[in-house]
Amino acid sequence: MSFLSRLLGAPEAKRSRTAALVALSPLGRPAWSAPEPKRFHGEALAKNPVAARAVARVARAAAEIPFQFTQGGTDASAHPAALLIERPNETQDRVALAEMLATHLLLTGNAYAEAVSVEGRVRELHVLRPDRMRLVPGADGRPAAYDYELDGRSLRFVQEGAVPPILHLTLPHPFDDHFGLAPLVAAAAAIDIHNAATAWTKALLDNAARPSGALVYSGGDGTLTEEQYERLKAELAEGFSGARNAGRPLLLEGGLDWKALSLSPKDMDFIAAKHGAAREIALAFGVPPLVLGIPGDATYANYQEANRAFHRDTALPLARRIVGALAGWLVPEGTLQATPDEDAIGALHAERESLWRRIGAAGVLSEGEKREALGYPRQKPGV
Give tens-digit pLDDT for 271-317: 778 888 999 999 999 999 989 888 777 677 788 888 999 999 999 99
At residue 325, the pLDDT reads: 96
Tens of pLDDT along 49-85? 999 999 999 999 999 999 999 998 888 999 999 999 9
Mean pLDDT of the chain: 78
Which of 276, 74, 121, 254 has its CA nearest to residue 194? 276
Distance CA 277, CA 54 (A): 13
The pairing of beta strand 166-170 with beta strand 133-137: unpaired
Strands 214-217 and 121-128 come out as unpaired
- The partner residues of 118 in beta bridges, in order of sequence, read 121
What's the DSSP call for residue 370?
H
Neighbours of 139 (CB within 10 A): 15
> What is d(CA 340, CA 63) in angstroms, rounded to the nearest whole number?
11
The residue that leads in pLDDT, 23 or 45, is 45
Q: What contacts 335, CB < 8 A, 6 or more positions away?
A: 71, 72
- CA-CA distance, 180 to 170, in Å (whole number)? 5
> Of 45, 191, 168, 34, which is closest to residue 108 (Cα–Cα)?
34
CB contact burial 162-193 (16+ within 10 A = b; e otherwise): ebbbbbbbbbeeeeebbbbbbbbbebbebbeb
Cα first-last separation, the chain:
62
Give the whole-angstrom CA distance, residue 63 versus residue 321.
Answer: 11
Tell me, rounded to whole angstroms, the distance of Cα 225 from its chain centroid: 56
pLDDT for the residue 9: 47
Q: Would you state the pLDDT for residue 263? A: 57
Q: pTM, whole model, 2 decimals?
A: 0.74
Q: What is the pLDDT at residue 173?
A: 92
Alpha carbon distance 270, 268 (integer Å): 5
